[in-house]
Structure 1
Amino acid sequence: MQIRKKTDIDTILDNFSSIAEWDAQGKKLYFIFPDRKRGGQWTLMYYTGDRFSIHGLGENYMDEAEYFFEDRLSLVSFLWDNRSAFNSAVRQAIPDKLAT
């Protein structure tokens, strides 16, 4: 699952559980990928009710709280802007045959 065009993002979001890990304590799915602009990492999280959020963490920074996307278009825009880092993390997280 790679982001090559914006429509790929909808497929990824609809099948998020295939790449994400489960956090039993937080009751959410999450996927971590590099935050190349700030030199840390993003955690993309999914909660039931089709709610997605992000949180950034790095050596010299930590976002105070999760940012919840108000709409799917904002989430798609965020992932499109960070597609290179996201794609790299997906390739490392799942076997090569699934990363196509």
Structure 2
Amino acid sequence: LVTSNAGGLGEAVIDGVTGLSHPPNDVAALAAAIQVALDSPDAAARRAEAARERLTSDFAWETVAAETAQVYLAAKRAERRPHPRRPIVERPLPDR
């Protein structure tokens, strides 16, 4: 797997472990990453297996759903905390 290190795949890929990443819009870096993958098929196969394992564990629907639920629960708990209000400062209006 060769991908840009931006966006969804960029977040999912661990460079050198589950794939190879490169900066967006960097054609030379993309070409170099592809060349590394082609020159080392055994290493590419190991990265592919690591990516498959990470996909089935870290990105399984059950895992993603549980993590999403935790975000919503944390937001709901934060909503209950009282927010301090700043006092309203009264000033006379300027003469016009």
Same fold (TM over 0.5): no
Which has a greater percent of strand? Answer: 1
TM-score by length of 2: 0.32
TM-score by length of 1: 0.31
